[in-house]
């Protein structure tokens, strides 16, 4: 993603814009986590690695914030997450 909103705002219905903003925020945080963890894996300097991994950890908390807001805005998303969790638990327990 790297600093680009992955949606065309003009094509989004007004009632859906906040949900799309929150989803774009989640995508941006996941992108940042991947970038920081990859850079941490590349550096040989432990102090740089430590800071990059700490920043990545903070981005994971941001995902939780965006997801909490998204679940408040989108009841269908909340239901789908619950169903997905149940499916995984069912498969893992087999």
Q: Is residue 81 part of a domain?
A: yes
Kindly report whether the global pTM for this prediction surpasses the value 0.95.
Answer: no
Say what the pLDDT of residue 3 is.
62
CA nearest neighbour of 24 among 42, 40, 9: 9
Range of the domain at 83: 9-93
Half-sphere exposure of 12 toward its Cβ, with a 13 Å CA cutoff? 15
Indicate whether 62 belongs to any domain. yes
Residue 2 confidence (pLDDT) above 60: no
> Please, are residues 6 and 39 in contact by the beta-carbon 8 Å criterion?
no
| pLDDT surpassing 60 at residue 75 | yes
Assess if residue 1 is contained within a domain: no
pLDDT band at 93 (very low <50, low <70, confident <90, very high): confident
**Residue 3 included in any domain:** no
Structural domain contains residue 2: no
Task: Give the residue with greater pLDDT, 80 vs 94.
Answer: 80
Number of domains in the chain: 1
pLDDT digit string, tens, across residues 14-60: 888 999 999 999 999 999 999 999 999 999 999 999 999 999 999 99
């Amino acid at each position: 993603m790297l600093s680009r909103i992955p949606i065309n705002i003009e094509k989004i219905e007004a009632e859906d814009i906040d949900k799309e903003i929150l989803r774009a925020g989640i995508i941006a945080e996941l992108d940042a986590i991947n970038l920081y963890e990859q850079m941490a894996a590349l550096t040989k300097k432990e102090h740089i690695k430590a800071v990059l991994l700490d920043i990545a950890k903070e981005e994971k908390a941001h995902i939780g914030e965006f997801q909490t807001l998204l679940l408040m805005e989108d009841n269908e998303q909340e239901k789908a997450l619950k169903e997905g969790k149940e499916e995984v638990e069912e498969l893992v327990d087999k």
